[in-house]
Structure 1
Amino acid sequence: MASAISSTDKIDTNVEDDRLESFRLIWLDANPKETRDTEQKLRSVINYLIKFQDVKHCQKYIEQRSQKDRIVMIVSGQLGREIVPSIHKIRQIISIYVYCMNKIGNKPWADKYAKVKAVVVDLDELISRIKTDHKIQKVVEEPLSINYFSTDTGKSTTGVNGQFVFSQILIDCLLRLKSTQTDTKELIDRCKHQYEGNSCELSNLHQFEKEYSPDKALWWYTRESFFYKTLNAALRTQDVHLIFLFRAFISDIHRQLKNYQCQGFLRVYRSQMISSDELNALKQCCGQFICVNSFFSTSTDYRQVLSFLNVLHGTDNLEPVLFEIDADPKMIAAKPFANISEHSDYKDESEILFMLGSIFRLNSVNRSSDNQVSIIRMTLCSENEHDLKHVLMYMKHQLGGGETNLQTLGKVLWEMGKLDLAEKYFNRLLKQLPSNDPLLTNLYEDLGRLASQSGQYDISLQWHQKSLRLKNPKQLFDAINMETRASSIGTRGGTFKFKIN
């Protein structure tokens, strides 16, 4: 599916598209006047462009978007008067631009809504304003993906601590899983499909295919291109398969961060717009640990970071926050952080980048002295200094040392309760193995137990039969006797233990 959808109101608003970015651009106008050149310029900023001519269809589409979506909207003056009062408080809407022929007539009503960033009559001015604002939006508006770990036994932590631990295990597993040319080709093909018709990003993709090298990973990550947009969206939405396809490049970034690891103590900052619910969740976790499931970009330039919030101050239903982070390289081992300015596409920025999965102790959440911003103070932590130490050591020991494989990944996902994904990677490995590979016996058994746990008992039996055919006659005889004694193969479906062979 191309990412620019022509003007139509027949789109199925209930179907979530397969986008690779967090941001989308909606254009609502009863009489659209944009040209292909305009569309190309807009898609060079935000690839996914969808156009509506009907207010009701447009509003329905907006209301059904995920909480992790971020929407920039262009609307005509006439339709803007109708729809803006209804949608301006929706979290997913981050900015609105009124593009009209009568600026004087539309500015009075538009000024009542904080998310209306401009009323413009010139198309070039519209595009320029969207492009300028989006540079800041990418920093402060892109959703954060955070897992919490509570050491307070008096609080209900069902599932919460488990998500924290398994996010760490999954990252460790993927970083040690060797990538293949097939994986890279699948990633590139997905991106080409996503950016079909976007000449700017297709050019970037072509350059990436021809020129990428591991020592340029940070440059590509900081560059304004598909690489940053799609990788960040994959991490923030926890799209496991897309992260799987990106794992070689994540490993390259990890390696560069280790090579350029900061050597001294730093205090760094990050500005962010978050919902009131997100802020309250952070307040409830003071004294606990959080894990950021993406690369975490910060700066040593306090004033510049704070200025981003000044630009966006006053947005409805959102809270401006400032992360203040103390980071000591002596406290970390596996998750490096580095000043990447010299290796960035923006060398004049004082950017400190933390590895994805970095763990922080949340010390406090307080209002600033002028009561304008919530300051979230955190300290970078090691895996060895808190209650996670023993469980992480045990589970990483289960993964073993050296390289992991698709079977290992499948078992980790199985333990996480992601049965469909576990089956997907077991089958992916199955297609790669020769018919005489010794791994097949265990792989067939894993597929059999997985099918049993999913309630697919006939399929489970077929996988176990395949496994038995590969065993020697004595093993087969013993297995048949055991099967005879068992009341049902399904009774053994829940006996899986996290054990990597």
Structure 2
Amino acid sequence: MLFKGIILEINEDVTQSVHNLVDHYRSKGISESQLTVVQRQCHQKSRIWWYTDEIFLYGVLDRALRLFDIEPVIKLSFSIRHQHRQLEQLYSEQSHAYRRKFKVYRGQGLSKQKFQQLTDTKGGLLSFNNFLSTSKGKHVATKVVKRVLHKHTDILGVLFIITIDPKKISAKTTLFTRHTDFRVTDMKHPSRNSRLWEMKLMLTGDKDSQLVVLSRRMKEEIDDKGWKTTNDSDPAHIYHQLGWLKNEQGQYQQAAAFYEKSLEAHRKTLPESDPSLAPTLNNIGLCDYYMADYSTALQFYEKELNLIQKSLLQNHLNFAASYSCISDIHNKIGDFSKVLEFYEKSFKIRENSLSPNHPDLSTSYNNIGQVYDNMGNYVKALELCKKRYGN
């Protein structure tokens, strides 16, 4: 849902995007005949046609959306945006033709682990990463799921029975935009086949109370962690968001790569000394820290420190955070004298800027105390431990 918002913000030239896409997949071994079709007909066919046609784009995009593989999603983001807009247009044009609720069907194979996760959502909300292609004929979806079960003996089959609000779009084959939200109403075995299940879904709307609360809460939590709330569609902003997402997934190498792209995009319009680059430098350093590349992390932390030194007063709390990051690096390296030096710098700023009972001061006492403990100065370590607990 939130990632969908990021993709829809991107605003790139379609012709250039197609050129980049073709170059990328030529290196991946896609046949020249398919690439030529994409280049010559990219403006002649609708994006929905591209997604449903039996060409490599469908398989690449569907897999990337399901697995949340960001690189191909970015390469195809122009197509995702156009598909989404065309579905919105179709909804606007066709919704008046449907007055009563109706059902559509989708057959799909799932691993046992994915199926277990699915059963846990009963009564709750369910969202699919990919565009969801369905049929108005139950027999079509049933054939699909039975064919999958016959081909793969280690998976389970699910026949999704989706009830649609009359205001939603429809056609003989219904294609939902990605991250459409459904409520899971029921699930059961339709036959004696223990590997085949039916799951009933109800298409939700923007007024679903649980969905509204969930969306608001997610955005609040993300804003607290540094999500950029600007509506800018510039590449620097988009890459920052993607870096944040990959960092949250624990995929630090990819996160660092997106943060570096954000930094590169910023540098096209900002001077090297601009202090607004500091948070991105810190983010890259943190990714390197998580990957145990401490020398590289230290370089980025020091670059961040140099920037904020040019724009902030020496007692600003941002300095305390920067000093703490550098201390953590030296602690990993085992240079305890440097650890102590920067932890004490951090502590002095916090001591002068925060109330005596602020939890950050307790953290500083603990950090410095641990350094003295590592250095064998147990008397000093005990003294700081007592200060931490107010003794």
Which TM-score tier does this pair reach, normalised by the shorter chain? 0.5 to 0.7
| Cross-structure match for 1:239 | 69
CA distance in structure 1 between the partners assigned to 2:320 and 2:80 by the alignment: 45
| Cross-structure match for 1:417 | 250
Are residues 1:390 and 2:213 paired? yes
Are residues 1:193 and 2:23 paired? no
Are residues 1:217 and 2:47 paired? yes
Q: Secondary structure at the match of 1:321?
A: strand
**Which TM-score applies when normalising by structure 2?**
0.66
Deviates more, 1:233-242 or 1:267-276: 267-276
Structure holding more strand per residue: 1
For residues 247-286 of structure 1, what are the structure 2 equivalents within 5 Å?
247-261=77-91, 263=95, 264=98, 265-286=101-122
Q: Secondary structure at the match of 1:194?
A: coil
Cα offset, 1:311, TM superposition: 5.2
In the alignment, residue 273 of structure 1 is paired with which amino acid? Answer: G
Unaligned runs of at least 5 residues, structure 2: 224-228, 329-342, 347-359, 361-391
CA distance in structure 2 between the partners assigned to 1:369 and 1:480 by the alignment: 64
Does the CA contact (< 8 Å) of 2:128 and 2:180 recur in 1? yes
Cα offset, 1:252, TM superposition: 0.4
Q: Secondary structure at the match of 2:27?
A: helix
| Cross-structure match for 1:207 | 37
1:327 aligned to 164, 168, 171, which one?
A: 164
Cα offset, 1:469, TM superposition: 5.1
| Cross-structure match for 1:401 | 231
CA distance in structure 2 between the partners assigned to 1:353 and 1:360 by the alignment: 14
CA distance in structure 2 between the partners assigned to 1:248 and 1:241 by the alignment: 13
Unaligned runs of at least 5 residues, structure 1: 1-167, 331-336, 341-349, 496-501
Does the CA contact (< 8 Å) of 2:182 and 2:204 recur in 1? yes
| Cross-structure match for 1:303 | 139
Are residues 1:375 and 2:198 paired? yes
Does the CA contact (< 8 Å) of 1:453 and 1:490 recur in 2? no
CA distance in structure 1 between the partners assigned to 2:3 and 2:282 by the alignment: 23
For residues 123-138 of structure 1, what are the structure 2 equivalents within 5 Å?
none
Are residues 1:229 and 2:229 paired? no
Structure 1 259/396 Cα, relative in aligned 2: closer, same or farther at 3 Å?
farther
Cα offset, 1:258, TM superposition: 0.4
- CA RMSD in angstroms comes to 3.6
In the alignment, residue 160 of structure 2 is paired with which amino acid? Answer: F
Cα offset, 1:405, TM superposition: 2.7
Are residues 1:177 and 2:13 paired? no
CA distance in structure 2 between the partners assigned to 1:276 and 1:483 by the alignment: 48
Structure 1 436/249 Cα, relative in aligned 2: closer, same or farther at 3 Å?
closer
**Deviations 1:67-113 (Å, cap 9, x if unpaired)?**
xxxxxxxxxxxxxxxxxxxxxxxxxxxxxxxxxxxxxxxxxxxxxxx
**Which TM-score applies when normalising by structure 1?**
0.53
Are residues 1:339 and 2:154 paired? no
Does the CA contact (< 8 Å) of 1:327 and 1:379 recur in 2? yes
For residues 402-481 of structure 1, what are the structure 2 equivalents within 5 Å?
403=233, 404-434=237-267, 437=270, 441-452=275-286, 454-455=288-289, 456=293, 458-467=295-304, 473=310, 475=312, 477=314
Deviates more, 1:461-470 or 1:212-221: 461-470
Does the CA contact (< 8 Å) of 1:414 and 1:422 recur in 2? yes
Cα offset, 1:227, TM superposition: 1.3
CA distance in structure 1 between the partners assigned to 2:264 and 2:53 by the alignment: 36
**Deviations 1:226-271 (Å, cap 9, x if unpaired)?**
1112111211222111112211110000000100015233310112
| Cross-structure match for 1:10 | none
Structure holding more helix per residue: 2
Structure 1 482/433 Cα, relative in aligned 2: closer, same or farther at 3 Å?
closer
Q: How many residues align?
A: 308
Q: Which has the higher contact order (CA 8 A, sep 6+)?
A: 1
CA distance in structure 2 between the partners assigned to 1:234 and 1:401 by the alignment: 25
Q: Secondary structure at the match of 2:179?
A: coil
Structure 1 482/277 Cα, relative in aligned 2: closer, same or farther at 3 Å?
closer
Q: Secondary structure at the match of 2:208?
A: coil
CA distance in structure 2 between the partners assigned to 1:416 and 1:383 by the alignment: 27
| Cross-structure match for 1:121 | none
Does the CA contact (< 8 Å) of 2:281 and 2:304 recur in 1? no
For residues 38-187 of structure 1, what are the structure 2 equivalents within 5 Å?
168-179=1-12, 184-187=18-21
**Deviations 1:304-356 (Å, cap 9, x if unpaired)?**
333344556655344443211012165xxxxxx6436xxxxxxxxx2101111
In the alignment, residue 238 of structure 2 is paired with which amino acid? Answer: N
Tell me which structure has the larger Cα radius of gyration: 2
In the alignment, residue 255 of structure 1 is paired with which amino acid? Answer: R
CA distance in structure 1 between the partners assigned to 2:173 and 2:186 by the alignment: 24
CA distance in structure 1 between the partners assigned to 2:186 and 2:280 by the alignment: 45
| Cross-structure match for 1:164 | none
Q: Secondary structure at the match of 2:200?
A: strand
Cα offset, 1:473, TM superposition: 4.8
In the alignment, residue 431 of structure 1 is paired with which amino acid? Answer: E
In the alignment, residue 190 of structure 2 is paired with which amino acid? Answer: S
**Deviations 1:444-468 (Å, cap 9, x if unpaired)?**
4322244146425543443344445
